[in-house]
Amino acid sequence: MVKKNWKIGQVWIETVIYTLIAFVLIGLVLSFAMPKIQQLQDQAVIQQSSDMMKQIDSTITGIGATGNQRIMEITIKKGDLIIDGVNNQINFSMESQVVYSEPGVFINDGSVKVLTTKQTGYNLVTLTLDYSQAGTEQYNLQFDGKDEVKTISKASTAYKLSILNNGPDANGQTVLDFSLQ
């Protein structure tokens, strides 16, 4: 009778040991795979955000005459879209494990300027559309009729961004009024 219980106990101990070994192996695989998966996801989000910035730039440059309005849907999965009416810029920034460009050096990706800044434990990737520089068409960007900075954060649903051409201001710059609908 004792020998029979010993065999049952041995089966349970072996089952527990094999289960623990399986969990350790799964944990090791995930510890190596998860950072790579995160980097690939960040790379995809940055690329989608760059495409979104180019779409915004295309909408701005093609808005046409005074009174024209364009409504576009934008999706922000990670990071922040910043409409800077004070400096007449549109920025997208996000923290990432990916070094998207050479750290500390601006590169041009079409109309979008890209800057990667090394931070402690992560990289800050910033995409910029600058409408204040000479040599480019200059626009006076506003949000809800005011020269202010508006931050649009990530959300599970798409935003509806409205861009209205309010015509030239006193300096001859075209005033573009952004709002969320």
What is the average per-residue pLDDT within 127-153?
Answer: 87
Residue with the larger pLDDT of the pair 87 and 8:
87
- Six-digit token pair at 90? 């549109």
The two three-digit tokens of residue 8, written as one number = 């049952």
Instruction: Kindly state the average pLDDT of the residues 74-97.
Output: 93
Domain chopping of the chain, boundaries? 2-180
| Residue 17 CA to its chain's centroid (Å) | 44
pTM of the model: 0.81
Task: Say yes or no to pLDDT of 103 above 80.
Answer: yes
In eight-state DSSP terms, residue 148 is -
**How does DSSP assign 27-52, residue by residue?**
HHHHHHHHHHHHHHHHHHHHHHHHHH
Task: Quote the mean pLDDT of the chain.
Answer: 89
pLDDT tens by residue, 13-56 = 889 999 999 999 999 998 888 888 888 999 999 999 999 999 99
CA distance to 5, 17, 21, 26, 99, per residue, from 13 (Å): 12, 6, 12, 20, 47
